[in-house]
């Protein structure tokens, strides 16, 4: 297998999911909540164990990957174990999928999801209270939630509730992706209004400010070109108040960007430092 190819990434998915599933139970309490009528419109809420660390003020919303077509919160439950182990209440959302659905529907899911999470956590105050993140397509969803003002406005919030963004192997600039049926169904034709709205890089460029960003990406990613990360980070640097950490994994694959959940590595160390720095600013 040649590293940096889609085949290499796909063949390594089963052991990746197996290692996430094998993470030991830390005593967190998990509940399931619907935010719409469709079977995919739900999220898992994981509360830290009673004997865990003191809860940080913020909560984490972490979206699963799967090219907007596959994956479930249950498959990514290990990420909830990681964040609850640090004391964070954690939400793992599901969302509707292409090709039956498209970005317009996913945008609706983000609005309904945010409204429900805000009700559960009483996060209507004028404070940025959520850390959002995701792996692969989940990172794209998190970036839209973080930068598209229509999401939190339609959710009835007085201001953007997002305090920081974690993007792991995420397609943060759709312009850097090759043409494909997947991209066409998700966002529509390049240059269309829906395509622009679905592109996190476009949303970022419209924003007056941006929030702290941790971007983790492998240079040998076989599914999402590292150019997506480079482009997004470049636009973030144009914002004078941008506080960002760009962690490149030399010769790293797509899945390497998310292995910190079960492996003590430089990416986990970087993530923990980033979270600590974010908490210390409040």
Q: How far apart are CA 72 and CA 216, in angstroms?
A: 21
Q: Label residue 240 by pLDDT band (50, 70, 90).
A: low
Q: Which of 13-17, 55-59, 175-179, 276-280 has the lowest mean pLDDT?
A: 55-59
Q: Which of 4-18, 197-211, 215-229 has the lowest mean pLDDT?
A: 4-18
Where along the chain do its domains lie? 6-280
Percentage of the chain modeled with pLDDT above 90 = 78
- Which CATH fold would you assign to the domain 6-280? Rossmann fold (3.40.50)
Q: Label residue 55 by pLDDT band (50, 70, 90).
A: low
Q: Label residue 51 by pLDDT band (50, 70, 90).
A: low
**Interval 222-232 mean pLDDT:** 97
Give the per-residue pLDDT at 41: 98
Q: How far apart are CA 224 and CA 222, in angstroms?
A: 6
To the nearest 10 degrees (0 to 180), the angle between helices 13-21 and 77-85 is 50
pLDDT higher at 142 or 3: 142
Percentage of the chain modeled with pLDDT above 70 = 94
**Interval 52-64 mean pLDDT:** 82
pLDDT in tens, 75-84: 999 999 999 9
Three-state SS string over 67-100 comes to CCCCCCCHHHHHHHHHHHHCCCCEEEECCCCCCC
Quick check: 47 and 29 in contact, CB under 8 A? yes
pLDDT higher at 105 or 14: 105
Give the per-residue pLDDT at 242: 63
Instruction: Name the DSSP class of 261.
Output: G
Give the per-residue pLDDT at 124: 44
**Angle at the Cα of 211 from the Cα atoms of 206 and 215, rounded to 5 degrees:** 100
Q: Label residue 192 by pLDDT band (50, 70, 90).
A: very high
Give the per-residue pLDDT at 57: 75
Give the per-residue pLDDT at 208: 78
pTM of the entire structure? 0.94
Q: Which of 164-173, 185-194, 237-246, 267-276 has the lowest mean pLDDT?
A: 237-246
Q: How far apart are CA 47 and CA 30, in angstroms?
A: 7
Q: Label residue 63 by pLDDT band (50, 70, 90).
A: very high
Q: Label residue 221 by pLDDT band (50, 70, 90).
A: very high
Q: How far apart are CA 133 and CA 139, in angstroms?
A: 6
Give the per-residue pLDDT at 59: 93
Give the per-residue pLDDT at 241: 60
- Strand pairing report for 42-47 and 90-93: antiparallel
Question: 165 pLDDT exceeds 90?
Answer: yes
pLDDT in tens, 88-132: 999 999 999 999 999 999 999 999 999 999 988 865 444 558 999
């Amino acid at each position: 297998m040649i590293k940096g190819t889609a085949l290499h990434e796909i063949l390594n998915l089963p052991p990746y999911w197996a290692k996430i599933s094998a993470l030991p139970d830390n005593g967190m309490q998990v509940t399931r909540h619907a935010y719409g009528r469709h079977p995919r419109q739900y999220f898992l809420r994981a509360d830290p164990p009673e004997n865990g660390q003191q809860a940080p003020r913020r909560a984490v919303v972490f979206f699963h990957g799967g090219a907007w077509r596959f994956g479930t919160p249950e498959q990514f439950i290990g990420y909830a174990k990681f964040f609850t182990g640090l004391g964070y209440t954690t939400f793992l959302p599901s969302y509707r999928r292409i090709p039956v659905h498209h970005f317009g529907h996913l945008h609706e899911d983000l609005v309904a999801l945010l409204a429900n999470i805000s009700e559960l956590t009483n996060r209507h105050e004028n404070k940025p209270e959520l850390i959002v993140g995701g792996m692969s397509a989940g990172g794209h969803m998190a970036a839209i939630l973080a930068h598209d003002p229509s999401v939190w406005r339609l959710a009835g919030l007085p201001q953007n509730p997002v305090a920081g963004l974690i993007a792991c192997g995420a397609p943060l600039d759709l312009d850097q992706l090759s043409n494909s049926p997947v991209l066409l169904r998700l966002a529509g034709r390049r240059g269309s209004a829906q395509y622009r709205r679905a592109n996190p890089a476009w949303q970022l460029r419209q924003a007056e400010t941006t929030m702290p960003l941790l971007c983790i990406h492998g240079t040998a990613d076989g599914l999402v070109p590292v150019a997506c990360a480079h482009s997004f980070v470049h636009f973030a640097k144009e914002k004078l108040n941008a506080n960002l950490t760009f962690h490149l994994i030399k010769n790293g694959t797509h899945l390497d960007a998310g292995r910190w959940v079960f492996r003590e590595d430089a990416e986990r160390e970087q993530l923990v430092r980033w979270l600590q720095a974010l908490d210390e600013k409040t």
